Structure 1
Amino acid sequence: MYRLYHNPRCSKSRTALALLEEAGTSFTVIRYLDEPPSASTLQALLAKLGVPAADVLRHNEPAFRSLGLDQLAEIDAETAIQALLKEPKLLQRPILETDDRAVIGRPPEQIRTLL
């Protein structure tokens, strides 16, 4: 089962959604701004992504600076998770997740690596 962490206001997220629909793939849309993921969900997602914790955060969001994340030399998983719990809009998007893997869809075509 595929899960797409989706923000309908984001053009890259909309492109990823269209790619999944065109592929005829069965998936669930997670509108993470409406229903933010829990700490345990974020922890599992980070593990599946296999990227540095800082890579799942949107560095250009004002909340990144207001939380002081721009002042850190390194962002560990716990810091990233706590930031995402406070400001879900910091989550990089789109993200496509399966039961054992996940990928950030930047560029959106990157999601094809899981299909």
Structure 2
Amino acid sequence: MEIWINPQCSKCRNALELLDAAGSEYTVRRYLEQPPTGAEIEEVLTRLDMEPWHLVRLGEPVAEELGVRDWPRDDASRSRWLQALARHPELIQRPIITTDDGATVARTPDAVQAAIEAQQA
């Protein structure tokens, strides 16, 4: 299990606490310090069964600067979204937990618990 975090994020810290309380084994990736590649983002999106625009934090200043709210959300624009996520990892929703069988955006305790259960299954 791997968790992508920003240590400044309260939801990330809460997710780590829940993983620790459950005795889960995991690896931490501080994705702002070790940005994922486009291929890694693509793999996580596949595991999440999401499109890149679903993973974007629209409230980030860089999102406003890039004008992503107005970008088309279609197959033709998909690579543009992926490039933005790779170049600006602060746009990526957090925390993300990947397990052997999938991934989840673990912003709620229930989502963290589901990841724990998936890993234990």
Same fold (TM over 0.5): yes
Q: Which has the larger radius of gyration?
A: 2
Cα displacement string for residues 9-37 of structure 1 (whole angstroms, at most 9, x for unaligned residues): 00001000110000000000000000101
Structure 2 counterpart SS, 1:35: coil
The residue type paired with residue 57 of structure 2 is R
Distance change in 2, residues 1:20/1:47 (3 Å) = same
The corresponding residue for 1:106 is: 107
The corresponding residue for 2:37 is: 38
What are the ranges of 5 or more consecutive residues in structure 1 without an aligned counterpart?
none
Contact in 1 for aligned 2:4/2:30 (Cα 8 Å): yes
Distance change in 2, residues 1:44/1:73 (3 Å) = same
RMSD of the alignment, in Å? 1.4
4+ long deviations beyond 3 Å: none
Distance (Å, rounded) in 2 between the aligned partners of 1:79 and 1:97:
24
Q: Could you tell me the TM-score, scaled by structure 2's length?
A: 0.87
Length, aligned pairs only: 114
Q: Could you tell me the TM-score, scaled by structure 1's length?
A: 0.91
Contact in 2 for aligned 1:5/1:31 (Cα 8 Å): yes
The corresponding residue for 1:50 is: 49
Contact in 1 for aligned 2:12/2:107 (Cα 8 Å): no
